Amino acid sequence: MTPIRHLILILGDQLSTGISSLADADPAQDVVLMCEVMAEATYVRHHKQKIAFIFSAMRHFAEELREKGFRVRYTRLDDGDNAGSFGAEVLRAVADVAPQTIVVTEPGEWRVLDDMKHWQAELRCPVEIRPDSRFLCSHATFRQWAAGRRDFTMEFFYREMRRRTGLLMEGDAPIGGRWNFDSENRNPARPDLFRPQRKRFPPDAISREVIALVAERFEGHIGRLDRFGFAVTRAQAEEVQDAFIADYLPHFGETQDAMLAADPFLNHALLSFYINIGFLDPLAVCRAAEREYLEGRAPIAAVEGFIRQIIGWREYVRGVYWLKMPGYVESNFFGNTRGLPGFYWTGETDMRCLATVIGETIEHAYAHHIQRLMVTGNFALLAGVDPYAVHEWYLEVYADAYEWVEAPNVIGMSQFADGGLLGSKPYAASGNYISKMSDYCETCRYDVRKKTGEDACPFNALYWDFLDRNGAALSGNRRLAQPYATWQRMSDQKRHEYRASAQGFLKRLDAGERV
């Protein structure tokens, strides 16, 4: 038998045939290794649907590689000799296959890269870790962009990315004369009975087998499995992309910040799962969106808004993650210590907004951006929850969550725990914002118009208490000058009522009472 040249390790979020670890792969000389391992499924207790989605997608991808002629060594979670972690599985494979070199594309999470860096010495086999070329901005380019810069504003990074990709550009100038059309987006919630239903894929035999495995092995994890409808092959993910481009993209911006109890998805793309796992290429998705504008089928505001999320925010948060890790996830600007309220695991709260978003999260392993930011994130921020606990929750419950993208969004954008690297002010808001952008308040047991007292929307007093509590850290922030001036203008009595109302609520929360 010819000796094995490369043992190519492909991780669960590297399911792209164009991935750098496969760039020079030769089925005659190389072996691909894929493994379902307990360490990855439990380092945080991922949502059941997330585990099922990743395992099913991995199994389908292994089939795709086999059809291309590759030898794939695939370890299932329930294989008797499964060694339980990436390192231990690679060790087992090296002993069996004796490759000349182990080849892997750099992982998306710092903890995995840190572990991999020891493999060469531990396994006594050369390990080649290749850059992940699926991202448009390399670590070096981001470091260069960030070097010496005090203002990390995403908008400036985004403009660079527009220039580099040529997306929506006319020479050096942005198409339409502006870089950003956000002012034309973001309308409040409006039901649209004609919005097409989202595509769901009934589980095939592979998914059914995986779902049964997950139900048995991960019973205590959050989430329902009976609603599983994820695309689990590249072809299915492309169907989701095509449906988004045709049916939802033209209205993308309009409802970007809206929330409706009867419609968890509105015009959102539902593509993050597939882009993050490697089924869809981010640049190709953006080119497809750009084509819709160029051929007159979608307005510039919608297409620019969508492209900005991908070549702007997505690339930017990855850059920040690798620039600031390993310390970043420990950031705690406000020194918050409260535990995450129990209702984050059950949705059992009288606050309709939180009950709805958490309920949808349990059902779909998905919530859209503004739900994550302004409902679950906003509440945790106002209540003073330890940002690390908030970070772990987000990493567990969303099927698109990997630390490189989740942590900057949670620690930075949502919890302001990095002290303002990502955002110039905290995304803190009273019930008024949620009331304006959603229909949740209409059926809530709390009254959004009441400011204090037992029946008042808890977000109202918590908002002022948050500003008051963190005055030393925030009152110098120019973007908060107006709310601080309003707080100062209030009578002592009014301020006392807000504080007492917030403290009463937090006391009930800490005592485990239903709130």
Total residues interacting with ligand FAD, rule: CB under 6 A: 28
| Given 457, 474, 480, 506, the residue binding ligand SF4 (CB under 6 A) | 457
Q: Does 112 bind ligand DLZ (CB under 6 A)?
A: yes
Among 319, 384, 387, 431, binds ligand SF4 (CB under 6 A): 431
If 0-12 CB within 10 Å is exposed, 13-18 middle and 19+ buried, where does residue 209 land?
A: middle
Tell me how many residues contact ligand DLZ (CB under 6 A). Answer: 16
Which of 268, 324, 352, 364 binds ligand FAD (CB under 6 A)? It is 268
Question: Please, which of residues 368-407 interact with ligand DLZ by CB under 6 A?
Answer: 402
46 within 8 A of 29, measured Cβ to Cβ? no
Residues contacting 285, CB < 8 A, separation 6+: 241, 271, 275, 310
CA distances 236 to 60, 232, 286, Å, are 11, 7, 18
For position 459 contacting ligand SF4 by CB under 6 A, the verdict is yes
Residue of 30, 109, 304, 439 that binds ligand DLZ (CB under 6 A): 109
List the single partner that 290 binds among ligand SF4, ligand FAD, ligand DLZ, none, CB under 5 to 8 Å by kind.
none
List strands edge to edge, sheet with 71-75.
71-75, 31-35, 6-9, 101-105, 127-130
Closest CA to 70 of 110, 121, 116, 17: 17
Structure-token pair, residue 213: 């495995």
Residues 6+ apart with CB under 8 A from 272: 400
430 binds, among ligand DLZ, ligand FAD, ligand SF4, none (CB under 5 to 8 A by kind): none
Residue 12 touches which of ligand FAD, ligand SF4, ligand DLZ, none (Cβ within 5-8 Å per kind): ligand DLZ
The reply on whether position 310 binds ligand FAD by CB under 6 A is yes
Q: Which is nearer to ligand DLZ, 119 or 416 (CB)?
A: 119
Q: Residue 438: helix, strand or coil by DSSP?
A: strand
Residues of span 413-452 touching ligand FAD by CB under 6 A: 413-414
Least distance to ligand DLZ from the beta carbon of 394, Å? 13
Q: Is 377 in the site for ligand FAD (CB under 6 A)?
A: yes
The residue to which tokens 């409802």 are assigned: 255
Residue type, 179: W
Indicate which single residue of 77, 167, 353, 502 sits in contact with ligand SF4 (rule: CB under 6 A): 353
Residue 82: φ, ψ to 5°: -60, 125
Q: What is the Cα–Cα distance from 289 to 279, expressed in whole angstroms?
A: 17
Query: Does the footprint of ligand DLZ cover residue 89 (CB under 6 A)?
Result: no
Q: Which of 351, 414, 410 is nearest to 382 (CA)?
A: 414
Contact flag: residue 406 with ligand FAD (CB under 6 A) = yes
> Pairing between strand 173-174 and 169-170?
antiparallel
- Going by the DSSP 8-state scheme, the letter that residue 385 receives in this structure is B
Closest by CA to 253, choosing from 175, 180, 162, is: 180
Complete DSSP assignment for 316-350? HHHHHHHHHTTGGGG--TT---BPPPGGGTT---S
Minimum distance from residue 79 beta carbon to ligand SF4 (Å): 46
**Rounded least distance, CB 464 to ligand SF4, Å:** 14
Which DSSP string do the residues of 37-98 spell out, in sequence order? -HHHHHTTT--HHHHHHHHHHHHHHHHHHHHTT-EEEEE-TT-TT--SSHHHHHHHHHHHH-
Of the candidates 265, 311, 267, the residue with the CA atom closest to the CA atom of residue 286: 311
Nearer Cβ to ligand FAD (302/457):
302
Residues 27-86 binding ligand DLZ (CB under 6 A) are: 35-37, 40-41, 46, 51, 54
Min dist. Cβ of residue 268 to ligand DLZ (A):
22
CB-based burial of residue 196 (10 Å sphere; 0-12 exposed, 13-18 middle, 19+ buried)? exposed
The answer to whether 411 touches 387, Cβ cutoff 8 Å, is yes
Give 46 or 368: the residue with its C-beta nearer to ligand DLZ: 46
Q: What does 13 interact with, of ligand SF4, ligand FAD, ligand DLZ, none (CB < 5 to 8 A by kind)? A: ligand DLZ
Rounded CA-CA distance 394/45 in Å is 11
From the list ligand FAD, ligand SF4, ligand DLZ, none, pick the one residue 382 interacts with, judged by a Cβ distance below 5 to 8 Å according to partner type. Answer: none
- By a kind-dependent CB cut-off of 5 to 8 A, residue 336 interacts, out of ligand DLZ, ligand SF4, ligand FAD, none, with none
Residue among 50 and 368 whose Cβ is closer to ligand SF4 = 368
133-162 mask for ligand SF4 (x: CB under 6 A)?
Answer: ------------------------------
Residues at the interface with ligand DLZ (CB under 6 A): 11-13, 35-37, 40-41, 46, 51, 54, 107-109, 112, 402
Task: Tell me which residues touch ligand SF4 (CB under 6 A).
Answer: 351-353, 431, 434-435, 440-441, 444, 446, 448, 457-459
Applying CB under 6 A, which residues contact ligand FAD? 268-272, 275-276, 306, 309-310, 313-314, 317, 368-369, 372-373, 377, 394, 398, 400-401, 405-406, 409-410, 413-414
